[in-house]
Amino acid sequence: MNRTVRLVEEILAVALLLAACYPLLYYGPLADVAVPKHMSGDMIDSYGGRTIFIWLPVLAVAIYGLLWFAQKHPRFVNLPGVSPEHHDAVSVAVASALKMWTAALFALLSLGLYGLATGKILHLPSWWIYGIIAAMTLHVILLVVMASRKA
């Protein structure tokens, strides 16, 4: 694996852990804070409790762990249209890309949600999450298309 990719993965893994731990440091004072649960555009539809600050990092780490496993064991990944001789390399590249995008997405989501709940961090508009998901999808599609053209 490329050293630059490994460095970016490590930085994003640390960012994910820090974003998960930051709201937990202030979990006690969040008891009386209504945490936004659902949004339509930039308007908050409903509020929930502070347990989202527990479940969001748990979900992020679980998805990150599954992608780590897929990266270490590429034969468990099914990529139709990719030739067998390129399958392992493409599987590792796709899992690595998804791992990086997932870490970035959940880190920003955790910090954004904490910022919405407390007003302590700059509130990001809701379109940024769609941009990250679109970039992640495009990145994976390009990796698979480029690999299928090599075959």
Higher pLDDT, 119 or 95: 95
Number of H helices, E strands in the chain: 4, 2
> In this structure, what is the dihedral angle of CA atoms 31, 37, 40, 41, given to the nearest 10 degrees?
60
Give the pLDDT confidence score for residue 121 in this predicted structure. Answer: 65
Sign of the torsion angle spanned by Cα atoms 36, 41, 45, 38: negative
For the record, the structure tokens of 10 come out as: 């490590």
Domain ranges of the chain: 3-150
**Per-residue pLDDT tens over the stretch 40-66:** 766 777 777 777 777 888 888 888 888
Q: Is the pTM of this model over 0.85?
A: no
Give the pLDDT confidence score for residue 136 in this predicted structure. Answer: 85
**Nearest residue to 56 via CA among 5, 116, 123:** 116
Share the mean pLDDT of the chain: 77
**Per-residue pLDDT tens over the stretch 18-44:** 777 777 776 776 666 677 767 676 677
d(CA 36, CA 113): 7
Q: Is the pLDDT of residue 133 over 70?
A: yes
The position carrying tokens 């990086």 is: 100
Q: How confident is the model at residue 123 (pLDDT cuts 50, 70, 90)?
A: low
Give the E-state strand segments of 49-92 in sequence order.
none
Which residues are registered as beta bridge partners of 40? 43
Q: Is the pLDDT of residue 139 over 80?
A: yes
Give the pLDDT confidence score for residue 52 in this predicted structure. Answer: 76
DSSP 8-state code for residue 49: -
